[in-house]
Amino acid sequence: MIDMWFFQDVILQPTEDISASFLWSKVYRQVHLALVNSKDEQGIIRCGVAFPEYSDETPTLGHQLRLLAPEESELQHLNLTEALKRFTPDYVRIKAIRPVPVRACKGFVTYSRYQPEGTAMRKARRYAKRHDMSIEEAQKLFPALTHKVQYPYIQLESMTNHHRFSLFIQKKEAVEQPCEGFSAYGLSTETSVPDF
The arithmetic mean of pLDDT across residues 9-23, rounded, is 96
In order of their start, the domains of the chain are 6-116+151-195 (3.30.70.2540)
Q: What is the DSSP letter of 163?
A: -
Mean pLDDT rounded to a whole number for the chain:
89
pTM confidence score: 0.83
> What are the backbone angles phi and psi of residue 141, rounded to the nearest 5°?
-80, -20
For residue 1, what pLDDT is reported? 45
Strand partners, 60: 55
- 184, 32 Cβ separation under 8 angstroms: yes
The string of pLDDT tens digits covering residues 111-129 is: 999 886 666 677 777 788 8
Q: Which residues have C-beta within 8 Å of that of residue 132, sequence separation ≥ 6?
A: none
Peptide bond into 89 cis (omega under 30): yes
Q: Which of residues 154 and 180 earns the better pLDDT score?
A: 154
For residue 172, what pLDDT is reported? 95
